[in-house]
Every structure is written in structure tokens, then in C-alpha cells.
Amino acid sequence: MKRTDMLWAYAMIAPTLLGLVVFYIWPLLQTIYLSFTKWGAFGKYKWIGLQNYEKLFSDVQLLTALKNTLIYTVLSVPFSIAFSILAAVLLNQKIKGVSFYRTLYFLPVVTMAAAVAMVWRWLFNADFGLINYCLGLFSIQGPRWITDPSIALYAVVIVAIWSSIGYNMVIFLAGLQGIPRMYYEAAELDGASRLRQFFTITLPLLTPSIFFVSITSLIGAFQVFDLIYMMVGNSALEKTQTIAYLFYKYAFVTGEGGYAAAIAVLLLAIILLVTVVQVKMQKRWVHYD
């Protein structure tokens, strides 16, 4: 019976395992192999050893992309988590029309990234955009949000925070609804204010959800591509490019597939390192009881 159960168990997970191998593990192994090659015409390539990785350490564009990716991550992830927690706490109350507000916050999640980027590109337009128009009503000269290299990345960060609140909010709502009500009742009997209850009860018991959201948000931030590519104007794109965009440029624009694969392996290594550090650090601040 045990052997039969094991065979059935493997049969049930076989489709998932097959998909994992075909669409994730095999492409990963191919990418690692191709990072040691140089591509020529018509997809031909030859083995060049560590030359692509040697080029990584002297590529000025890669250093710029690393810096931009770090800025984007440091700014977008903490603010996204903070605003998502605030939205979740507010929408966890018994207020009229709460279902409508939850749907409204979640709409950007189910909207295509291209559509989000195009709408915000229009809003940020320096000549006829709605944001600069509203600033003009107060006699404020609006900047060139997506064409000025010095602020284009920050404009993208604003959109990233706005579009990620809905998804994170749903996870935090689930975490909030799993907190026993008796803790708040006991705190009210002791005279604790709402703010004190938030920092002593809600936030500590929400740390498992915060931990999950922080991992997924960091991974997504390191891989940002669509917003940068579709929002930022050509004049600022070179100065605001991220690691993922640099991979795209070398792989599909200049045709340097081997070097692009090396960039992808570097990005994978960075994400793995950050994730391992997060997992190791969770014991110090994540409370599961």
C-alpha cells in the first residue's frame, strides 16, 4: 500500500515537476552555459570561458544599472509595504462600502502593466499631462517627469508603489483577519490606545505576512523592466536603465546573447543572496506565535 501511495503521489506531481524542469530548470541551465559563450551571426556561438564575467566588472553601464536598480528597490519596496499595511488596516474596519474600496485598490493588479505605464506616461507628460496641469493651477512649474534623467527613475518608483499596493494589501488583509480578536479586547481593557495596539499587537503578529511580501517585492523590484521600458523617454532611458533592461538591450538589441546571459546569471546570484540573507534574518524579527 505504501508503494502504491508513493506511485500515485509521484503521478499527481509529475505534470508540475515536468513543467518546472522544462520551463524553469532547463532554461536556467542553458542560460548558465550560454554565459560562457559568445554569439555570432544566425545564432551561432563559441565557448570563450570567463570573458563575459571579466567584462562585467569593467562595464560602466552595468554599474549604472546596478545603482539604478538599488535605488528603485530601496525606495519602492519599503514605501509599498508601508502604504499597503496602512490600506489593509483601514479596509479591515467595518466601514460602509468596504468591498468597493478593496476592489478599487486591487484594480491596478489585474490591469496590464503596459496599460498602467501608458496611462501614467500621459499623466506625467510635461506639456499636456494632468499632473503638471494641476501644479500649474497653483503657479508651480512642473518638471519633465519622464524625460529628465535626474528624476525619471523617481517617477517610475511612484508608479511602482501605486500599482503594488493592491496585491500586498490583500495579503496583509488575510494576515490581519488571522489575528485573534481577544488580544485587542484585552488591550482595550488595559486602556491601550489604537496606536499602541497597532505597534504592540498588529505589527508583531503581521510580521509573517510582511516577511513574505518583502521577499516577493524585492525579487520583483530587482527584475523591474516593463515600467522602465514603457514609461521613460529615450533621452532618459540610458541613465535610468536597470539590470533587467540591460539584459534586454544586450540580448535583443545589440545581439550579444552570451554577455546578456552573464548579466542574467549575475541578477540571479544577487536575488539568491538577498533572499538567503532575508531568510537568515527572519528569526530576529518574524513572530509566528
Per-residue pLDDT tens over the stretch 241-259? 999 999 999 988 888 889 9
The pLDDT, as a whole number, for residue 26 is 93
Is pLDDT above 90 for 67?
yes
The pLDDT, as a whole number, for residue 263 is 94
Q: Quick check: 267 and 31 in contact, CB under 8 A? A: no
Mean pLDDT value across residues 131-149: 88
Mean pLDDT value across residues 271-287: 90
For 103-123, how does the pLDDT look when each residue is reduced to its tens digit (9 = 90+)? 888 888 888 888 888 899 999
Percent share of the chain, pLDDT over 90: 46
Mean pLDDT value across residues 263-274: 94
Take residue 161 and report the three cell numbers written for it.
508603489
- Mean pLDDT, rounded, of the chain: 89
162: confidence class by pLDDT, cuts 50, 70, 90: very high
Q: Where are the alpha helices (DSSP H) in the chain?
A: 2-20, 26-34, 51-56, 60-91, 98-110, 113-123, 130-137, 152-177, 181-189, 194-197, 203-205, 207-222, 226-231, 234-240, 243-248, 257-285
**DSSP β-ladder status, 45-47 and 37-39:** antiparallel
User: Rounded to whole angstroms, what are the CA distances from 229 to 64, 68, 129, 243?
Assistant: 16, 14, 19, 12
Q: 3-state DSSP call for residue 139?
A: coil
What is the H or E stretch that residue 38 is in?
strand 37-39
Take residue 105 and report the three cell numbers written for it.
485598490
